[in-house]
Amino acid sequence: MILACQNISKAFGTTEIIKNASFHIEEREKAALVGINGAGKSTLLKIIIGEMRADDGEVILSKGKTMGYLAQHQDLTGHLSIYQEVLTAKQNLIDMEERLRQMESDMNTKSGAELDELLSTYTRLSHTFELENGYAYRSEVVGVLKGLGFSESDFEKQVDSLSGGQKKKVALAAALLSNCDILVLDEPTNHLDNDMTEYLEEYLNNYKGALVMVTHDRYFLDRVTNRIAEIDKGYIYRYETNYEGFLALKAERENIALATQRKHQTILRKELAWIQRGARARGTKQKAHIKRFEVLSAEKPIEMDKSVTLNSITTRLGNKTIELHDISKSFPGMSHPLIEHFSYNFLRTDRIGITGPNGCGKSTLMKLITGILEPDSGYIEVGETVNIGYFSQENEPLDDNKCVLEYVKEKAEFIRTIDGYMPASTLCEEFLFDSTLQYQKIGKLSGGEKRRLYLLKVLAGSPNVLILDEPTNDLDISTLCILEDYLDSFPGILIVVSHDRYFLDRVVRRLFVYDGTGHINQFEGSYTDYYLEHGSFANSAKSVSDTECAGKANITASRKNTPSVTERSDASKKEAAPKRTKTKLSFNEQREYDNIENDIMICEEKIDGLDREIAAAATDFTKLNHLMAEKESAEMKLEHLMDRYVYLTDLVESFKKSPEDHA
């Protein structure tokens, strides 16, 4: 055993976050803490590493064992370079190396017994140095930094000039290299693209020490962990399995708990009936029986996780949506544009995931679509009925003195749903803000709860175009499941920027893939489909360096008074960027047009085959559910193909018109 937590309790005011929690970590064990935002995951990690004191209980670290820690948020200061900052994790080897060099120098001045003693000490120290990989520690530092997306040209940048995400990666590199016995990591995959996440997966799977971490990345959880500790309403439940096994065992636990509660309620009803009958003959009552009733009545019912069905909240979307016409965008100091000559007409059924290396321009595209930025060339048309809901990487400024419900009501007192209107308080309840939390000051919420609240307000605006920029950062798995269920029935356009492989697989059907040089390629299918077809991740290109992204942070002040795309008149659009007359299909469009009829036929045949399988499996409920879900997916794909067929056919027909018609 490396670490033991014994009877840990922690409260903030009258709210008990952790209740009498006990668990231990064995050598080479890979454990994860899961639970909703605000459940106490980060609090427990801080107690484990000694940054916060528990109200009761103790944390015991085995004698001689060391611990490394990565906090959720980093604020590195000082003038050390990235390389120097990470190198401090190897300070023991640096000191050992300096001592060896000094001993080598001293050998020139020693002789006899002194020299023999020095040689003996030198031999022992060099052996220890070799066992701890001392002759390759600088190469190890370089390897980890490159694995986390830093190029050698980045190594000399000062840490105090870095963004929050870059500081997190520097701190992660230092933690990985700390040569400790147990690593404690809080959201290590935040700010990592998929190549970096895959690298981290491999690194931790080969890591010889123990691991305790908090993460929302479900693929990462499943591939790295062998134990799950769930914090649920203050209590810790332990599962000796990975994330997939945890889901099955949690469902089993909750079923047992429900059965126990039903039995408890049955007994209570019987006891109540006995008491009521006995009231007419008080002298015959048994004191033990009455005591039994009092005990049963005092027991609190088991609180189960909320089962939330969040109906799609949207407004009608017209035929004209969002059209990107040959847009390009770059910033000063860049060797190439972030976006170069990109065109796309969004369909009402589009569910698009945007992926690529960090710094390639994914968020820039979102800001262009929302009107926060203007393209350098080309133009964007937005339909009159378009209502964009934009969930950015950074929360909008939150007033810490406002309560949760007051903040949501700023958007709307009543929110329109497919079933009518619901009060803002009901929507809060469905998004895991119960009646107590609704009147909690925002300043007292955890970082993850603030992130969830911001998402809730975006959805409360009834968008028909939903743009999510890294939505999984700092959101707990329960919230992500609610969001995914919501998106399943969302009838509008969905555009997602994410490095979360599970989330992309779950919600998107088309990818925009950045190649890191300004070009955006399109792929029909999920993230895993892309990986299987291309044999690499969609963002396998090297991350764009910060020097190439210089100037991106300086766009807000100068653009505050710039009219958005939707505010420009048609005349001003044409004056700003004259529309080019398209005379033929692009290469990709032509390829799609040549194959689309065959794709439609294949999709229709698949649906016919599924109909036959559904008829044959009428009595097999499990198989029937699977087949119905598969059919629904195939029908959605067919609808998308038909929309594309109509669009491309109209384009081809327009090219056949005379020049007079175009004029």
How many whole angstroms separate alpha carbon 392 and alpha carbon 473? 11
Helix/strand/coil for 608: helix
Backbone angles phi, psi at 526, to 5 degrees: -90, 180
pLDDT beyond 90 at 488:
no
pLDDT band at 627 (very low <50, low <70, confident <90, very high): confident
For residues 352 and 420, the answer to whether their CB atoms sit within 8 Å is no
Residues 167-187: tens digit of each pLDDT: 889 999 999 999 899 999 999
Q: Please report the pLDDT score of residue 268 as a whole number.
A: 64
Q: Mean pLDDT throughout 248-254?
A: 79
For residues 145 and 83, the answer to whether their CB atoms sit within 8 Å is yes
Q: Please report the pLDDT score of residue 476 as a whole number.
A: 80
Q: Please report the pLDDT score of residue 410 as a whole number.
A: 86
Beta strands in 116-266 (DSSP E): 182-186, 210-214, 227-232, 235-239
Residues 156-165: tens digit of each pLDDT: 999 988 877 8
pLDDT beyond 50 at 523:
yes
How many whole angstroms separate alpha carbon 215 and alpha carbon 484? 18
For residues 501 and 196, the answer to whether their CB atoms sit within 8 Å is no
Q: What is the DSSP letter of 132?
A: T
| 389 beta partners | 466
pLDDT beyond 80 at 306:
no
How many whole angstroms separate alpha carbon 52 and alpha carbon 165? 24
Side-chain half-sphere exposure of 60, counting CA atoms within 13 A: 12
Edge to edge, what strands does the sheet with 235-239 contain? 67-70, 182-186, 210-214, 30-34, 227-232, 235-239
pLDDT band at 225 (very low <50, low <70, confident <90, very high): very high
| Strand-pair category, 493-497 with 465-469 | parallel
Q: Mean pLDDT throughout 213-238?
A: 89
pLDDT beyond 60 at 333:
yes
Q: What is the DSSP letter of 130?
A: H
pLDDT beyond 50 at 9:
yes
Return the axis-axis angle of helices 243-278 and 287-298, rounded to nearest 10°: 140
pLDDT beyond 50 at 566:
no
Residues 200-221: tens digit of each pLDDT: 999 999 999 999 999 988 889 8
Average pLDDT for the chain: 80
Q: What angle do CA 456, 458, 459 make, to 5 degrees?
A: 65
Q: Which of 60-74, 282-296, 415-429, 618-632 has the highest mean pLDDT?
A: 60-74
Per-residue b or e along 584-610, where b marks 16 or more CB atoms closer than 10 Å to that residue's CB:
ebeeebeebbeebeebbeebeebeeeb
pLDDT beyond 90 at 94:
yes
Q: Mean pLDDT throughout 349-363?
A: 87
How many Cβ atoms are within 10 Å of 179's Cβ, its own excluded?
Answer: 17
pLDDT band at 564 (very low <50, low <70, confident <90, very high): very low
Give percent above pLDDT 90 in the chain: 33
pLDDT band at 367 (very low <50, low <70, confident <90, very high): very high
| Strand-pair category, 67-70 with 322-329 | unpaired
